[in-house]
A and B are shown apart, each in its own frame.
Chain A
Amino acid sequence: MSVLLPAAMPKASSTTTPYSRAAREHPGYRRSIAARAVAATLGGYGLAALCAAALALLSDAPREEAIAVAALPAFLLQIAAAIWAFWAPTALRAWLGIGSPALVFGVIIIWIQHAAA
């Protein structure tokens, strides 16, 4: 995990914030930004994809309607994930905040697919 999740950025304090000039001098800054950027893009898209698939499976509606309904919140969730990725105090928390709901949606998908099989 430590390879995947680089060191956290310096904690926000009264004088420095994760995006202050001082933080940019910190050795982990670039790694942290890279980890957040990947969380925002790939993580955000993955979360949207899993959310959409789970909602489509949960829906009782006909195929096209289920897809249309599931996509609408999924797009918004992707945006929220990207915001959170850079808002979170640490890169690790950014990943946890996106990964845990993604895990829930993943479990729902597997569970419904097993039930249907």
Chain B
Amino acid sequence: MKNTGFRDAMTWLHTWAGLLPGWVLFAIFVTGTASYFRPEITAWMQPEAARRVSALDAGRHALAHLAEVAPDSPRWAIVLPDARSSELKVFWREPPPRRFKSADLDPLGRAEPVARKTHGGEFFYRFHFQLMLPHPWGRWIACFAAAFMLVALVSGVATHRRLLADMFLFRRTRDGRRPWLDFHNITAVLALPFHFLIAYSALVIFTHMYLPWMGKALDAIGEKPAGIAPATVGARESPADAVSLEEIFSATARLWGEKRSVRRIDVTGRGTPDATITLTRADGPAVSLHARESLTFSAVTGEPIKQTDTIGPGRAAGGWLYGFHLARFADPVLRALFFIMGAMGAAMTGTGLALWTLKRRDRLAKTGRGGRFGYWLVSRLNVAFVTGLPIACAAYFWANRLVPAGLAGRDQWEINAVLITWAAAALHAFARPERAGWREQFAVGAVVFGGLPLLDLATGGRFDGLHAGFTFAFVAFAALFAFGARKLSKPAAA
């Protein structure tokens, strides 16, 4: 009897811990899954951008630019183009109030970037954990959603009598919600280790924000001084940028080999004798972010500075989880698998939301009991998110090609297109009956995704692996949406 009580409790908990953050989680899964291809999305959205640019030339250009715009800043950072990205970004710290500023540069050193201005894949990446809300609200909501998801996962597993048997159970019956439940279980259980690790690592990534109490407790006892003291800006006693980049690049080439490109350059303590220049290698096959190799040189003499950054097991574990979450280590095939597991997470969340309404629809029909308002709200929010958000994402890609390349503020207009489309989809979802809302949005989704490869061809798409991959993905989404629209256009099953 105790077991029955436990399963009942876990079923109840699974229902509510899953429903409450469900829409946010769905949006996080969709945008996070897209973020696995963050540089590739940017490349698709800038078909005119140069590919395969020299990191050394780009680095030289970036240093020259920084010397011009931030000659007195103590701290510079440069993110160089690599195999996946042709972007060149520079960051520098302004004098107090200390704020980091950034700029996008042309990787070939032209005065103005040739590629159209776009947030590219960065939009999905930022949305994934900031939810387009003011700082730090989005991050907090994303963290709570991750914690709720862990509770929903544990309680969801606990509701199963036979976890392994259910994992391979798919009842292709025509009655009601069985196939939905089975699909929910399959997407959840097949990728269960992924789901668990992705939610757990999300919390680990935000450890310092989520649990600031550790740092506060340690500060209160006054031991364990914080790492490196911030560099002080003194008189410019030494030219910190005197060292030649060629020398440092050839030194890293000797140590890492020619193939391993430098991804990031950090200059600290500029204007002091302790100025350093750190080169970080492009992401390698190691999972952990801490395993990313870096080399530090004195920016004054060019002498290598010995690295003493040994980390303990806690930071090693944290670095592994962080690296797992970002999956930058993954080669294209593994990255595609991560993409599929992320899509399964979105499917798990989407079907879970749908199940809530399917269960209540039966009860409402049979007994007339249960809240009609709650049903209306949840069912329409489901349409607005599960089909409305993907349509809005497609609108982002459409806007990328339709908003004129030279228009001022065009990058913001691409994002406005997402918001306007999503708002329209939400209005439509709340204005239409549930079934019609689903059917019509599935149909619209099929059209907007199906049209994207044609739009790409008509507006500067290239015939290469990147564009072929996007065409494949867009057609697959279009087919999925068409399948949904077709299913719903038939009379209701059972």
Contacts and interface: CB of A to CB of B under 8 A. Distances in A.
Given A57-B217, A65-B314, A67-B214, A79 B147 contact: yes
Interface string B269-313: 000000000000000000000000000000000000000000111
Interface in A66-102: 66-72, 74-76, 78-79, 82-83, 86-87, 89
Contacts of A89: 5
A116 B217 CA distance: 11
B9 A65 contact: no
A53 interface: yes
A82 B17 contact: yes
Nearest to A89: B5
Interface string B1-24: 110111011111100010000000
Nearest to B158: A83
Interface of A: 12-14, 17-20, 40, 44, 48-50, 52-57, 61-72, 74-76, 78-79, 82-83, 86-87, 89, 109, 112-113, 116-117
Given A53-B217, A71-B203, 20 more contacts: A17-B5, A19-B12, A49-B211, A53-B214, A56-B218, A57-B217, A62-B224, A63-B227, A65-B311, A65-B312, A67-B215, A69-B312, A70-B214, A71-B204, A72-B318, A79-B147, A79-B151, A82-B147, A82-B151, A83-B151
B207 A67 contact: yes
20 contacts: A12-B2, A12-B5, A17-B8, A18-B9, A19-B11, A50-B213, A52-B213, A63-B227, A65-B313, A65-B315, A67-B218, A72-B318, A75-B200, A79-B147, A82-B17, A83-B13, A86-B10, A87-B10, A89-B5, A112-B221
B317 interface: yes
B220 interface: yes
B17 A109 contact: no
A86 B1 contact: no
B468 interface: no
B101 interface: no
A53 B213 contact: yes
A72 B11 CA distance: 27
B216 interface: yes
Task: With a 10 A CB-CB cut-off, give which of B155, B214, B311 has the most chain A CB atoms.
Answer: B214
A20 B4 CA distance: 10
B315 A68 contact: yes
Contacts of A54: 217
B154 A83 contact: yes
Given A14-B1, A68-B314, A116-B223, A79 B154 contact: yes
B225 interface: yes
Given A68-B318, A83-B154, A12 B221 contact: no
B217 A17 contact: no
Contacts of A87: 6, 9-10
B487 interface: no
Contacts of B462: none
A74 B211 contact: yes
B308 to A, nearest CB: 12
A12 B6 CA distance: 10
Nearest to B2: A12
A19 B200 CA distance: 28
B208 interface: yes
A64 B214 CA distance: 10
A65 B103 CA distance: 34
B218 A116 contact: no
A116 B225 CA distance: 15
B314 A66 contact: yes
Contacts of A78: 147
Q: Which 10 A-B pairs have the closest CB atoms?
A: A69-B314, A68-B314, A116-B221, A65-B312, A53-B217, A56-B214, A63-B224, A19-B12, A17-B5, A19-B8
B214 A52 contact: yes
A36 B445 CA distance: 41
A29 B150 CA distance: 25
A117 B223 CA distance: 11
B213 to A, nearest CB: 4
